[in-house]
Amino acid sequence: MLISREIEAWIKAEPLVCAYTRRRLTLATLQVDHCQPLDRGGTNEFTNLCLAHRNANGAKGSMTEEEFRSPLTIIGAWDDGRGRLFVSGLRASPTVFTKRR
């Protein structure tokens, strides 16, 4: 993907930390994310962009920043490791949230 010089300068000026998880980013894990997805009315303006870890960005999908942060806040409060276990269980059971007839 080609990025403009303006975006490249912005990335270099920003701390390399994921906006969602606060994990350190490398050039291999860094992605520019739309806080409000384009398909949900977001724009390409800098005020709608943030740096995200590629895994967090993939998990966020087309959620808004607020929609994505809500469960992160709840799960992040579980300090005994249950959050990680919960997320692992969801990944292992992709049909957990599908509608049943």
Q: What are the pLDDT digits (tens) for 1-29?
A: 446 788 788 888 878 999 988 889 998 99
Give the C-alpha separation, 91 to 13, whole Å.
35
Residue 20, CA distances (Å) to 34, 35, 67, 96 in order = 12, 10, 12, 24
pLDDT of 91 strictly over 80: no
| Residues near 53 by beta carbon (within 8 Å), at least 6 away in sequence | 18, 20, 21, 23, 25, 29, 30, 31
Write down the domain spans for the chain. Answer: 5-92
Q: What is the DSSP letter of 16?
A: S
| Residues near 70 by beta carbon (within 8 Å), at least 6 away in sequence | none
- pLDDT (0 to 100) of residue 79: 73
The reported pTM is 0.69
Class of domain 5-92: mainly alpha
